[in-house]
Chains A and B, each alone.
Chain A
Amino acid sequence: MELQYFLLLAAALFCIGIYGLVTSRNAIRVLMSIELLLNAVTLNLMAFSNYLDPMVIRGQVFTVFVITIAAAESAVGLAIVLSIYRNRDTVDMEQFNLLKW
């Protein structure tokens, strides 16, 4: 078993997340893509923690923090999506153009 396998997996997950982030039109799917990105990062951290820092395991501690904050972020994200849905009756990103880019 090698560190590189895990890092490659994390890189692949990261790129899939980026793809989803850019192409999704549903706001909730964009939130899911962000979760994928964060999971790629935690996978990276856990792999480093196991192979480079096995005794002090700072990476595992970091991962716990990332998980905590990801949960908070998705709660806030869904609250915002709900409030926009109430006003606009859609979650389509293409429709959110009251403000021009």
Chain B
Amino acid sequence: MDFANLSAQLNAGAILPEGIVIITLLVTLVWDLIVGRSSTKVTPYVAIVGLLIATGTLFLQWDTTEPISFLGSFNGDAISLIFRGIIAISAAVTIPISIRYVEQSGTSLAEFITILLTATVGGMFLSGADELVMIFVSLETLSISSYLLTGYMKRDPRSNEAALKYLLIGAASSAIFLYGISLLYGLSGGETRLSAITASIISNGLDESLGLVIALVFVIAGIAFKIAAVPFHQWTPDVYEGSPTPVVAFLSVGSKAAGFALAVRLLVSAFPLVSDQWRFVLTALAILSMVLGNVVALAQTSMKRLLAYSSIAQAGFLMIGLIVGTDAGYSSMVFYLMIYLFMNLGGFACVILFTLRTGTDEINEYSGLYQKDPLLTLALSICLLSLGGIPPLAGFFGKIYLFWAGWQAGAYGLVLIGLITSVISIYYYIRVVKTMVVKEPQEMSEAVANYPEIQWNLTGMRPLQVSIVVALVFTSLAGVLANPLFNLATGSVSKTPMLQATEPMTPVVSQAPEQLPMPTVESVDL
């Protein structure tokens, strides 16, 4: 294969968005090297612009006819475009909320942004990776940069500790994931492309082997770690509490979206032979995540830990869409992720702002905030209520669509548990809102009583304000004006060959356990 021939076959245009992010990353790094510490006035904005351009190019590729590139390493189909967009936007929102935070903690901003952009690149490649080696390398790019971000505040023992725990648990889980992948490579007799694996497993006559089930279990352990599903959630509260809050914001949205993208692609295209088993395992994980996440969140006193458990529970809700496996299921999952992006990042932006002004993140300290800072109270309340699923807000419509898709597909038990646990979740979200709004002036906490004068003209405060307002507007309006997002979500599913082709292969319910109703093929007609 000569060079001209090869470069024609690569179809390198499909990774243009990632290329743009990598160029942005290098520009940030080199600019910081040349200019020195004063580069912080420019670099964050360069990074945001780069990420937005990358998102724009993702839109241009919406109607692409040749998604496969790099000889099968990468598949830029519609569902990957959506996930890559979610990850890029979550990074683009994380950067403005981190400027002030990083400045105030006295660490260097340029390296922070570079590492964050690498994590973004890793996540974006992971969403489209169509081949085992590519999956592994991009997963590790995402994970290693996340460990670094977690430990970025290196003088703070809590940040160190969070990074160490995250690294050890993360590296172990990726090693276990990799063991599963190696079994997959063996069972398929030496295939690494996801699309070829199933066919060769069948032709080798290993479609009902114990090996495939073990590979599946190991792979699910790796994925569940990434999306923080119970019982692989142990790291989440610690890492969320210990690491810098902007990093948590990115981990809870970007990294989680990448995990879901990986789950969809790997489970649907490499494990259709054991789809009953993986749906069963995921159902168990989803129920555990919803119940445990929401119940433990009730007892939390720290806002970051509360959001950590809430994100575990949200992962449980999202898994409903993946489990039912219908078109509506997938698109409701994508739709909910898009809404979750803004409401969760908005919530974290508010927590960061409060932390910067008062230096605490205990829930009690929020009492009486309404009298001192109405904008912050409003934004945080809207985001939390939306996470809880209160009607006119975006989160409500996302949840309704998810539950509706689950109900249509016959997953009644799952949907009922989802409904009950979301009612529980409303309690702890409302509790925070009540603390902020209802208290009398004399009940005001010390932190709020000493609340500093609101100044937006400090370095990095303006971007924080802008992102809070954007998240606020989006969260309150996205539910009512959901149509474009909705079309995007359904379009991404219906345009993806992988999700369409495997639909008829999904075996019918009969073997599934009784108490866990599984989707039937008839329910697809939406």
Chains A and B directly touch (beta carbon < 8 Å): yes
Digit string of A5-41 for contact with B (CB within 8 Å is 1, else 0)?
0010000001001000100000100110110011011
Q: Is the CB of B140 within 8 A of A69?
A: yes
A63: min CB distance to chain B, Å: 10
Q: Is the CB of A65 within 8 A of B133?
A: yes
B141: nearest chain-A partner, CB-CB: A69
Give chain A interface residues in 17-73, CB to chain B under 8 Å.
17, 21, 27, 30-31, 33-34, 37-38, 40-41, 44-45, 47-49, 52-53, 56, 58-59, 61-62, 65-66, 69, 72-73
Contact A34 to B144, CB < 8 A, known contacts A58-B185, A99-B242: no
Q: Is the CB of B179 within 8 A of A14?
A: yes
B227: min CB distance to chain A, Å: 20
B172 within 8 A of A: yes
Q: Is the CB of A58 within 8 A of B190?
A: yes
Q: Is the CB of A77 within 8 A of B167?
A: yes
Q: Is the CB of A49 within 8 A of B190?
A: yes
A46: min CB distance to chain B, Å: 10
Which of B137, B147, B162, B175 has most A Cβ within 10 Å? B175
Contact A101 to B168, CB < 8 A, known contacts A53-B190, A62-B185: no
Contact A83 to B154, CB < 8 A, known contacts A59-B190, A96-B164: yes
Q: Is the CB of B241 within 8 A of A34?
A: no
Q: Is the CB of A66 within 8 A of B136?
A: yes
Interface size on B, residues (CB 8 A): 41
Q: Is the CB of B190 within 8 A of A84?
A: no
Q: Is the CB of A41 within 8 A of B164?
A: no
A61: nearest chain-B partner, CB-CB: B133
B132 within 8 A of A: yes
A72: min CB distance to chain B, Å: 6
Q: Measured between alpha carbons, how far is A71 from B99 in the docked complex, in Å? A: 31
* Chain A contacts for B136, CB-based, 8 A: 62, 65-66, 69
* Chain B contacts for A96, CB-based, 8 A: 161, 164-165
How many A-B pairs fall under 8 Å by CB? 123
B7 within 8 A of A: no
B298 within 8 A of A: no
Q: Measured between alpha carbons, how far is A30 from B176 in the docked complex, in Å? A: 15
Determine which of A48, A66, A69, A83 lies in contact with B190 in the assembled complex, contact meaning CB atoms within 8 Å: A48
Q: Is the CB of B137 within 8 A of A53?
A: no
B13 within 8 A of A: no
Q: Is the CB of A84 within 8 A of B157?
A: yes
Q: Is the CB of B140 within 8 A of A73?
A: yes
Give chain B interface residues in 167-210, CB to chain A under 8 Å.
167-168, 171-172, 175-176, 178-179, 182-183, 185-186, 189-192
B151: nearest chain-A partner, CB-CB: A80
* Chain A contacts for B160, CB-based, 8 A: 80, 83-84, 87-88
B93: min CB distance to chain A, Å: 26
Q: Is the CB of A52 within 8 A of B175?
A: no
Q: Is the CB of A34 within 8 A of B165?
A: no
* Chain A contacts for B191, CB-based, 8 A: 58
Q: Is the CB of B176 within 8 A of A37?
A: yes
Q: Measured between alpha carbons, how far is A62 from B148 in the docked complex, in Å? A: 25
B158 within 8 A of A: yes
A83: nearest chain-B partner, CB-CB: B154
* Chain A contacts for B258, CB-based, 8 A: none
Which of A27, A34, A41, A88 has most B Cβ within 10 Å? A41
Contact A98 to B158, CB < 8 A, known contacts A49-B190, A58-B190, A62-B185: yes
Q: Measured between alpha carbons, how far is A27 from B136 in the docked complex, in Å? A: 24
Q: Is the CB of B144 within 8 A of A72?
A: yes
B309: min CB distance to chain A, Å: 13
A96: min CB distance to chain B, Å: 5
Q: Is the CB of A48 within 8 A of B165?
A: no
Q: Is the CB of A53 within 8 A of B133?
A: no
Q: Is the CB of A101 within 8 A of B238?
A: yes
Q: Is the CB of B144 within 8 A of A88?
A: no
A–B pairs, 11, beta carbons within 8 Å: A21-B172, A38-B175, A44-B183, A48-B190, A58-B133, A58-B191, A66-B136, A73-B144, A76-B148, A98-B161, A99-B161
Hey, which bits of chain B sit against chain A, CB under 8 A? Answer: 132-133, 136-137, 140, 144, 147-148, 151, 154-158, 160-165, 167-168, 171-172, 175-176, 178-179, 182-183, 185-186, 189-192, 234, 237-238, 241-242
**In the complex, the 8 A-B pairs of residues with the closest C-beta atoms, listed nearest first:** A53-B190, A37-B175, A84-B160, A48-B186, A99-B238, A44-B182, A87-B157, A83-B154
**Given A73-B144, A87-B154, 7 further pairs, Cβ under 8 A:** A34-B171, A41-B179, A58-B185, A58-B192, A62-B136, A69-B137, A69-B140
Hey, which bits of chain A sit against chain B, CB under 8 A? Answer: 7, 14, 17, 21, 27, 30-31, 33-34, 37-38, 40-41, 44-45, 47-49, 52-53, 56, 58-59, 61-62, 65-66, 69, 72-73, 76-77, 80-81, 83-84, 87-88, 96, 98-101
